[in-house]
Structure 1
Amino acid sequence: MKLVILDRDGTINHEREDYIKSPEEWVPLPGALEAIARLNHAGWHVVVATNQSGIGRGLFDMVALNAMHAKMNQMLAKVGGRVEAVFFCPHTPEDHCTCRKPMPGLFQMIGQRFGRSLDGVPMVGDLPRDVLAAQSVGCEPHLVRTGQAATMPEAELQALRQQVSGLTIHPNLSAFADYLILREQRVQGEDSPVSTHTGEIS
């Protein structure tokens, strides 16, 4: 099984400083849903790993979170894409849980759910904690310059590169999807071109 793990806020959809608390506030980034669909069509199974401390903070409940993901799935279906599952941490930092990224708990749950090692599984997010969590379980770490990483100073990016071995940085989720698909085509010796979507930074 070809598995890929995506962060949610700032990677698939726009972030909000006051948290995304309802389906109405859940708005996909340009090209992100289509990127997931392209990954699906290339044989990738997509799962999401996301911190959702708004639940622990009392800003929204499970009904609202499920409604957000129902909206995401409905919008994905319209472009021919799907997410296999969403793994989320509802805790605040003060809870000191093992599932809030950069802790590895969510990733360990994914490995258990799919019955496989996560060594080499591509993971992409927009925050250092995403790639640090990915690195901790052997995933292949990728960062997108959307969400909070859009304004990350170059010095911080360089420091993160030194901290996370093998980190690859992309403009957005579309560019990440194209990277994986094109790399696989090259490995398989295919000459068919892949469309690129590298100018959709939000």
Structure 2
Amino acid sequence: MALDPDRTVRGLLFDRDDTLVIDVPYNADPHRVVPVPGAHRAVERARAAGLRLGVVTNQSVIAKGMATREQVDATNARVDELVGPFEVWCVCPHDAGDDCACRKPRPGMVLEAAERLGLPPESLVVIGDIGADVGAAVAAGAQGVLVPTPRTRAEEVDAAPTVADSLEEAVALVLGHVAAVRA
């Protein structure tokens, strides 16, 4: 299944780890940030098309006491330097058992990003590497694109409404839709 042809896409939200940058578990060290191949080019293409851009990322490293919010913010700033810049960063500092509204697959960060970008959630697409990313998009009324990695579970791929082989392909799908809507 593809993106909804009846929706106008105005913004694009990305997951951070294993979507924009190579996942280093619980990374809060800016020096360990390495972009996924093609990430900068894909983000630039989205920006050039006029899409508003943001990042929504679960960072339980804060709740686990393995890093401070300042360390995570510094790591995110490095992602901004290498891949961005992004207009909005939404970070969930909670752990899986904290029962917060922001941790993906809950919609909190997608809704916050929509509000901060001044866009309705249904005009957003979220690109991520696991089912929680797509789940957060759907729960917020946005659309989701899954870009599987070797860690993505088969059932997550099967359940995703839209799947792309790479970040560049995911952005191209979104941009093809944007061009189709504008035409």
TM norm structure 2: 0.87
Alignment RMSD, CA only?
A: 1.8
Does 1:55 find its partner at 2:62? yes
- Determine which of 143, 168, 171 is the counterpart of 2:165: 171
Further displaced range: 108-117 or 34-43: 108-117
Matches within 5 A, 1:25-36: 25-36=32-43
1:147–1:124 CA distance, 2 compared to 1 (3 A): farther
Show structure 1 runs of 4+ deviating over 3 A.
186-189
Q: CA deviation at 1:15?
A: 1.1
| Greater relative contact order (CA < 8 Å, ≥ 6 in sequence) | 2
Task: Provide the rounded CA distance (Å) in 2 between the counterparts of 1:118 and 1:148.
Answer: 28
Structure 2 unpaired stretches of 5+: 1-8
TM-score (norm: length of structure 1): 0.79
Partner of 2:44: 37
Deviation per residue, 1:71-121 (Å, 9 max, x gap): 122223xxxx52111101001122211111111111221232233320142
Aligned residue number for residue 157 of structure 1: 157
Contact in 2 for aligned 1:12/1:32 (Cα 8 Å)? yes
Distance 1:86 1:156, change over 3 A: closer
Q: Deviations along 1:132-185, whole A, 9 cap, x unmatched?
A: 111011111110023632xx33x5522x14xxxxx1100111111111222333
> Sequence identity of aligned pairs in percent?
30
For the Cα contact (< 8 Å) 1:123–1:140, is it kept in 2? yes
Please list every run of 5 or more consecutive structure 1 residues that lacks an aligned counterpart in the other structure.
162-166, 190-202
